[in-house]
Every structure is written in C-alpha cells, then in structure tokens.
Amino acid sequence: MNLARHRTGTAAGHAVVLGAGIAGLCAARALSEVFDRVTLVERDTLAGDGAPRRGVPQGAHVHSLTVRGAAVLEEFFPGFVDRLAADGAAVVTALSEVEIVFFGSLLHKVPVGTVLQAGRPFLEDRLREAVRAVPRITVLDGREAIAPLATTGNDRVVGVRLARPGLPGSTEDVDADLVVDAMGRAGRGAAWLEALGYRKPAEQRLRVDVAYASRRYLVPPGAAGPDHALLVGATPARPRGLVLTRQENDLWVLSLYGFGRPDHPPTEPGEFLRFAAELASGPIWEALRRAEPVTDVAAFGYPHSLRRHYHRLRRLPDGLISTGDAICSLNPIYGAGMTVAALQAAALRECLADGTRDLPRRFYRSAAKALRLPWLFSTLADRSMPQVPGTRPAFAALLGKSFRATMRAAATDPEVAAAVWNAVSLTASPAALARPRVVAATLRNWPRGSER
C-alpha cells in the first residue's frame, strides 16, 4: 500500500468516527491520512484495563484474528503484530500447532502461516494505543452519539450531537465534514437515514440462534502440550462447537457455542465443563481441566447474521457513512468480523485516495465487494445446519455432505487442508476449493448414507 498516494487525496477538515470498536479504530486510522483532524467518539469510558467493556460484551468470548485481518492491521500500523507479540500475545504456526476438527475430521497439520492469538480487550487496547499515537486523531470517550446534524435540506450531514451517557441535558454539537457510524450492529446509522428523509437500507437476515458461553483460565506454560488451540466445529448432527485457545500471558479461553436453544451452552460451571467434555479431548483439554478459572462464565446470544445493503440505496446524504458490524454482522463462529471491519477500513482508504466526492456511494460499493465472499462463505456454512431455518432440507443436506467430504479429504491431504485454512482465514479465495485436485479429493471422500 502506497501511503504517499493516499496523501494526495483532496479531503481536509474534520472527520468524526462514532464507536471505538475495531471498525471505528481502523476507520479513524484510514481517515487520518486525508483529514486534518479525526475525532473518535466512544460511549464507554475507556479504562484500557484488559477487561471486556459494556459496549463490547462479546469481548469476553474468543476473538480469533485471521491472518488477513492481522495483515491489514499491520499495513495500518507497521510493527503492530510484533508489538502485540512482545506484550505477550501468543504467536502460533497455523495449521501445524492447532487442532481443528471441522465436520468431524481433524485437519491435516500442515504449516501454512502465523497467527496471533489474544483476547479481544487485549487486542483492542493495543490498537487504541496505536490510534492514539497518530497525531491527528483525538479519542473522546464517555460520549454518546444521539443524533446527526444536517443542512436545511438534509442533503448533507454536517456534524453530530453528543451527550454524556445517562445525562440527557449534557448535549454538545460537534461540526464535521464527515461522520462515520461504527457503532456496531445495533448502531443508529440506518435509523438516522430514515430520520433525515431517506430510505433505510434493505436488510438481509439469516436466523441462526447461536449462543456462546466462555470462561478464561490460567494454564501453566507448557502444560497443554505442543498445540496452542483446539477448535471443534459444529456438525449438522451435533450442532455444538468449542474453541479453546491460548491467548496472551498464558491465559486461555474456552468458548462453547450451540445452534438452537436445546444446544445452547450452559453457564453453570459444572454443566459448562460437562458440555465441553462431550466435544474435547487430548492434552489441551486435560490441561484445562486442571487449570484455574480466572473469570466467571459469560454468556452471549447471537440471534441472526445481518447485512444492510447500503450500496443499493439510490439516494444518500453526503457526509455520512456506516462501517463494520453496522453494515455486516457475520455469525461469530467463523471468526471473521474483525477482519471484515479492517477490510472495510482498507476499502475506505482506497476510496479516500480519490477524494471525498460522492464518498458514501463509492465506499458502500467497495465495501460490498469486500463483504461478498465472507458473507457467502459463512451463510453457506450456516445453511448446512438443519437447525437454521429457511433452507430446503435437500439443499442443506447436500451442503452438509460436501463440507463433510472436503474436511475428510483435508484430514489426509495437505493441499486440501491448506485450501480450507486459507478460505477460513480469508487469505485466499475459496475458489481454491474448486481446483480440480481438491474437487477430486472431495468426491473420493463423499459420505454414503445420512449425516447421522
């Protein structure tokens, strides 16, 4: 990425980013290359103490950063990955130091790259430090965005009204040349459009009814054996999954999930471990059973994946864009949300290189391209689960069989395993799974009989 090229963008003035999650932090960094000032507004008070915060309750659950996501963060903040590792994040060789069981098959352990494993608050705190070090960016926490400010005809957003959370009388108006909604999937950008007299974007939802339960443990160094993570994915016959990964400073997280109420993981500590014991085995699991928990069991409900089609809107006001989960929230079990948030910021950076004229439309088109494959991939995997309504049973069964066959092939064939890993970690196109050799291996492993 050529920074000098981005500096030729014609924008200047003040950009305000609402929400200091991963999407907001990355967007602020992209904007700092062309705006004189960037203000990052966050509703929470940012303690930076490594604990999950109120506005990001998912922070208590496993947050894998894909190889692609780490590469984009490294482009925005050169040296970031090394600094994280120096601070204690686990640096792990994928696929050879992780045990991944997808659709019932243990993927062949071929080395295909390096991944960084850390808790979401750890990662976010360090990303925020990197953003704070950018001279043009100011972080304003403890402020909630409550309304957009627009020109008389509402054709342009020119700022935002803020308030101290819980103190409605404490409003302050902030002028801006660009307002970025990075307020997460419950963000207000779509409702703001409607309030300004525009259509709301069409929404695509896929009901998955996934629930998570997670707990962190301290595992003595070396006690878990040579591997640094264990992932057991859900299958149509057993819609439950588990992720157990080493994170920073010998902390490990055990996250359990299930599709549909009967398979939601329990939060009572004994039942939580019994649920896990049905899925896990091996040295990592044995180490965890003996380990000391350092948190309570946290729960999180995820009702549906969500995509908002801003790129299809005919009319948009200037000066307002949405990004991150506010545009697309993927089923978290595929671990791609932070990566697509970073990819959208990279798309924003590209668009800003051509100035700010017609920015919302150009950005939404470009973001839609970045989102197409991750959305397709995660919703296809979801549709193979009979617990996910809305898919013809015959199609769901066909998808289930084809995933199962590919994973069986990936158990013995390093090329197939690498293609699966690269697709999941968004480092290469899933088209590699359609290579003749991979297809032939898949067909040789096609399951006979029903899934069960």
Ligand X SMILES: Cc1cc2nc3c(=O)[nH]c(=O)nc-3n(C[C@H](O)[C@H](O)[C@H](O)COP(=O)(O)OP(=O)(O)OC[C@H]3O[C@@H](n4cnc5c(N)ncnc54)[C@H](O)[C@@H]3O)c2cc1C
Q: Is 338 in the site for ligand X (CB under 6 A)?
A: yes
In the complex with ligand X, the residue whose CB is nearer, 311 or 408, is 311
Q: At what angle are helices 22-31 and 337-352 packed, to 10 degrees?
A: 20
Using CB positions, name the residue nearest to ligand X.
55
Q: Is 9 in the site for ligand X (CB under 6 A)?
A: no
Q: Is 371 in the site for ligand X (CB under 6 A)?
A: no
Q: Is 382 in the site for ligand X (CB under 6 A)?
A: no
Q: What are the CA-CA distances from residue 399 to residues 21, 71, 118, 234, 409 (Å)?
A: 34, 31, 32, 14, 15
Q: Is 144 in the site for ligand X (CB under 6 A)?
A: yes
Q: Is 21 in the site for ligand X (CB under 6 A)?
A: yes
In the complex with ligand X, the residue whose CB is nearer, 188 or 401, is 188
Q: Is 404 in the site for ligand X (CB under 6 A)?
A: no
Cα dihedral across residues 341, 65, 94, 417: positive or negative: negative
In the complex with ligand X, the residue whose CB is nearer, 32 or 247, is 247
Cα–Cα dist 333/310, whole Å = 25
Give the tokens for residue 270: 């004994």
Peptide bond before residue 95 is cis, with ω within 30 degrees of 0: yes
Residues 158-217 that bind ligand X (CB under 6 A): 182-184, 212
Q: Is 337 in the site for ligand X (CB under 6 A)?
A: yes
Residue 335 one-letter amino acid: G
Quick check: 333 and 263 in contact, CB under 8 A? no
Q: Is 52 in the site for ligand X (CB under 6 A)?
A: no
In the complex with ligand X, the residue whose CB is nearer, 62 or 359, is 62
Q: Is 242 in the site for ligand X (CB under 6 A)?
A: no
Pick from 92, 336, 388, 396 the residue near ligand X by CB under 6 A: 336
Helix (H) or strand (E) holding 356: none
Q: Is 339 in the site for ligand X (CB under 6 A)?
A: yes
In the complex with ligand X, the residue whose CB is nearer, 375 or 404, is 375
Q: Is 421 in the site for ligand X (CB under 6 A)?
A: no
Give 90's contacts (C-beta < 8 A, 6+ positions apart).
116, 117, 118, 228, 245, 246, 247, 248
Pick from 14, 31, 40, 61 the residue near ligand X by CB under 6 A: 61
Q: Is 41 in the site for ligand X (CB under 6 A)?
A: yes
Q: What are phi and psi for residue 116, nearest 5 degrees?
A: -110, 125
Give the CA radius of gyration of the chain: 22
Q: Is 245 in the site for ligand X (CB under 6 A)?
A: no
Pick from 14, 43, 68, 128 the residue near ligand X by CB under 6 A: 43
- Would you give the distance in Å from CA 120 to the centre of its chain? 10
Q: What are the CA-CA distances from residue 17 to residues 94, 358, 361, 416, 450 (Å)?
A: 34, 18, 18, 41, 50
Quick check: 324 and 341 in contact, CB under 8 A? yes
In the complex with ligand X, the residue whose CB is nearer, 253 or 353, is 253
Kindly state the smallest distance separating residue 268's Cβ from ligand X, in Å: 19
Q: Is 224 in the site for ligand X (CB under 6 A)?
A: no
End-to-end CA distance of the chain: 48
Q: What dihedral angle (degrees, nearest 10) is formed by the CA atoms of 415, 338, 400, 306? A: -150
Quick check: 64 and 17 in contact, CB under 8 A? no
Residues 309-328 that bind ligand X (CB under 6 A): 324-326
In the complex with ligand X, the residue whose CB is nearer, 308 or 404, is 308
Pick from 159, 335, 374, 400 the residue near ligand X by CB under 6 A: 335
Q: Is 119 in the site for ligand X (CB under 6 A)?
A: no
Pick from 23, 150, 284, 297 the residue near ligand X by CB under 6 A: 23
Residues that bind ligand X (CB under 6 A): 18-24, 41-44, 55-56, 58, 61-64, 144-145, 182-184, 212, 300, 302, 324-326, 332, 335-339, 341
